[in-house]
Copies of this chain bind each other. A is one copy, B any other.
């Protein structure tokens, strides 16, 4: 780190991303999407929730930036956004690194 550099981390951004994952259903969805792009109907089949509830969760994941969506005919296809996943990954990498080095 440069001397005199003011590092004001964007904790609000972290909280928004992590809030999107503060739900069992949505963590599982992200994990599913990490293997493949999927349509809502594929995802819905893995849960015991109604279609509007899934739609609500996908909206939260999309608006957080962790998941991208695109139309494909009748279907909506969802995929993990690599940049924002990297933001979260690096947060925990850094924290783990701090713990390992300083203490």
Binding site for B on A (CB under 8 A): 9, 11-12, 14-15, 18-19, 21-24, 26-28, 30-31, 34-37, 79-80, 82, 85-86, 88-89, 91-96, 98-99, 102-103
Chain B hits for A98, CB < 8 A:
31, 34-35
User: Judging by beta carbons under 8 Å apart, are B9 and A18 in contact?
Assistant: no
Least Cβ distance of A80 to chain B in Å?
Answer: 6
The residue of chain B having its C-beta at the shortest distance from the C-beta of A21 within the complex is B18
In the complex, the answer to whether A92 meets B89 with C-beta atoms within 8 Å is yes
Assess whether A21 is in contact with B15, with CB atoms less than 8 Å apart.
yes
With both beta carbons as reference points, the residue of chain B lying nearest to A79 in the complex is identified as B103
A19: chain B residues within 8 A (beta carbon) = 22-23
A52 to chain B, nearest CB (A): 21
